[in-house]
């Protein structure tokens, strides 16, 4: 089915290879190069230009000196179940370095901003708070090569939701005709299998049975027990998995290790914009969005000692769904574009 947001005939641009096998697409009207770059990272299941509100952002940026890039990661589309945030952020760093080199060949002063949607928000936060370069040496990803991540002029997180809370919704409401009790039984079975697989410390990923994962919302995506454990984080909130960055029950001490570590890593020149969708269908009712955002803000600013959080453009977007793709999302999309455009304009005005 054709997208109702992307125009027929598409939008012009340039396809770049930032590695031998990975690509990024730059939207440039008439093939005209622009000095500043805005790299967008989608969520689980996304790939090149699959987040539909990007069409609104592209149009908004046409008369500006910013060009929007979308990219493919090795975890794109149906490969996310085998991916992990270290690899994602290493590949994002490779893309950013490519863009910087490409723009510097034409422009003396070139800004670069990173934005993530959904799990792309986990990528952005992981990029900003982890050691640079990464220090992990996973046996299950023996070909992983860490790269040093470039400093960003700006960063945006949109729909930073908890996968653990999302699966709680599935267990409370059921899934595809299955009752909550039936879904919970499948979940408990997968939890036992995952914990057993992780205890054995297999050298390579073991894949969870599709016959089970498809019954709790993961479709037919190959999903390793390792990534499943990271997303639903069986040991949370006491010991959250790598992907469990945005759950509402994480402690202030845990938030201090993620949001609170952004400033000390020195990878963000401007402030961090966080955009939460007010009607996000993957967020349970028990999550107080405004309160959660205040906790993140306090942690990012380390209790007022620094200024990392962007107060001007961050906020809960009223009525916005998770990806702003529903038929009633015209106003929330305008709100999102206004915030993103305003942030990019301010970055340029500060010079």
Q: Domains in the chain and their CATH numbers?
A: 13-162+247-349 (3.40.50.1820), 165-232 (no CATH)
pLDDT at 3: 67
Question: Residue 141: phi, psi to the nearest 5?
Answer: -135, 70
Which parts of the chain register pLDDT below 70? Answer: 1-4, 351
Tell me which residue has tokens 């299998």. Answer: 193
CA distances from 184 to 188, 209, 217, 261 (A): 6, 16, 12, 36
DSSP string, 154-207: EEEEES---HHHHHHHHHHH-BTTB-HHHHHHHHHHHHHHHHHHHHHT-SS--B
Helix count (H) and strand count (E) of the chain? 11, 8
Distance CA 83, CA 99 (A): 23
**255 closest CA partner among 307, 294, 313, 311:** 294
Q: Which of 246, 247, 288, 296 is nearest to 271 (CA)?
A: 296
- Sign of the torsion angle spanned by Cα atoms 155, 160, 164, 166: negative
C-alpha 14/C-alpha 103 separation (Å) is: 13
- Count other Cβ atoms within 10 Å, centred on residue 180: 13
Task: Give the per-residue pLDDT at 30.
Answer: 74
Give the pair of three-digit tokens for residue 31. 């093939």
**pLDDT for residue 351:** 67
What lies within 8 Å, CB to CB, of 174 at 6+ separation is 180, 182, 183
Q: pLDDT value at position 63? A: 94
The residue behind tokens 């950013």 is 96
Pairing of strands 13-17, 315-317: unpaired
What is the Cα gyration radius of the chain?
20
């Amino acid at each position: 089915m054709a997208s109702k947001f992307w125009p027929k005939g598409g939008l012009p641009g340039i396809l770049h290879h930032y590695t031998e096998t990975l690509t990024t697409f730059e939207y440039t009207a008439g093939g005209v190069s622009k000095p500043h770059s805005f790299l967008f990272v989608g969520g689980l299941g996304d790939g090149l230009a699959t987040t539909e509100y990007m069409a609104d952002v592209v149009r908004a940026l046409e008369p500006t000196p910013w060009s929007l890039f979308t990219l493919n990661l090795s975890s794109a589309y149906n490969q996310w179940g085998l991916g992990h945030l270290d690899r994602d952020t290493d590949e994002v760093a490779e893309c950013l370095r490519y863009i910087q080199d490409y723009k510097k060949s034409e422009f003396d002063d070139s800004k670069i901003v990173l934005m993530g949607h959904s799990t792309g928000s986990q990528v952005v936060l992981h990029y900003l708070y982890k050691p640079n370069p990464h220090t992990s040496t996973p046996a299950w990803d023996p070909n992983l090569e860490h790269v040093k991540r470039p400093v960003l002029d700006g960063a945006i997180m949109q729909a930073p939701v908890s996968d653990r809370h999302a699966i709680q919704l599935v267990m409370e409401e059921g899934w595809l005709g299955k009752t909550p009790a039936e879904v919970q039984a499948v979940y408990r079975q997968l939890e036992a299998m995952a914990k057993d697989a992780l205890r054995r410390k297999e050298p390579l990923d073991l894949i969870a049975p599709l016959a089970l994962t498809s019954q709790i919302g993961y479709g037919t995506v190959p999903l390793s027990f390792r990534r499943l454990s990271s997303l639903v984080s069986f040991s949370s909130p006491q010991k959250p998995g790598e992907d469990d960055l945005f759950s509402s029950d994480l402690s202030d001490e845990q938030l201090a290790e993620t949001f609170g570590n952004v400033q000390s890593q020195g990878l963000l020149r401007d402030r961090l914009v966080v955009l939460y969708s007010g009607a996000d269908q993957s967020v349970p009712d028990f999550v107080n969005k405004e309160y959660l955002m205040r906790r993140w803000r306090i942690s990012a600013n380390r209790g007022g000692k620094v200024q990392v959080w962007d107060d001007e453009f961050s906020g809960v977007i009223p009525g916005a769904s998770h990806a702003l793709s529903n038929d009633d999302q015209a106003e929330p999309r305008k709100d999102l574009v206004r915030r993103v455009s305003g942030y990019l304009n301010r970055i340029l005005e500060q010079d």
